[in-house]
Amino acid sequence: QVQLVESGGGLVQPGGSLRLSCAVSGITLDRYAIGWFRQAPGKEREGVSCISSTDENLYYADSVKGRFAISADYVKNIVYLQMNDLKPEDAAVYYCAAAFRCGSSWYELEGYLNLWGPGTVVTVSS
């Protein structure tokens, strides 16, 4: 059974940092890409970042480039999202999802397995 469980969210002040984790079970990261998405209240779910062991590229939304960093521990089967210099507009529920690849359309929901965890809430407020 494939499961992706997000953790690491919380309340942080603007300019602060958080590290999110996506614990993956049922599949291995050497065969699947993992994408991070987020959804703010009243907005659509949007792609944040994507990583794949078979792709040397790391993918980021323009809004987070230079502030967020995605990485993977292929032994523990966990994907991380280090978020620095957080802004109020980064506040959202963050989700991770599995896909066969990242690629140029990594941000499109349709490319991911329809298996979503509960997400982890990130609040950015002073």
- pLDDT tens-digit map of 76-95: 999 999 999 999 999 999 99
Taking the C-alpha atoms of residue 22 and residue 71, their distance in angstroms, rounded to an integer, is 10
What b-and-e string marks burial along 10-32, b requiring 16 or more CB atoms within 10 Å of the CB? eebeeeeebebbbebeebebeeb
pLDDT of residue 102: 95
Taking the C-alpha atoms of residue 118 and residue 63, their distance in angstroms, rounded to an integer, is 23
Q: Which residues pair with 81 in a beta bridge?
A: 20, 70
pLDDT of residue 117: 83
pLDDT per residue as tens, the chain (126 positions): 899 999 999 999 999 999 999 999 999 999 999 999 999 999 999 999 999 999 889 999 999 999 999 999 999 999 999 999 999 999 999 999 999 999 999 999 999 998 888 999 999 999
Computed over its alpha carbons, how large is the radius of gyration of the chain?
A: 13
Give the residue among 78, 106, 81, 107 at the shortest CA–CA distance from 94: 81
Give the residue among 56, 58, 20, 16 at the shortest CA–CA distance from 38: 20
pLDDT of residue 26: 94
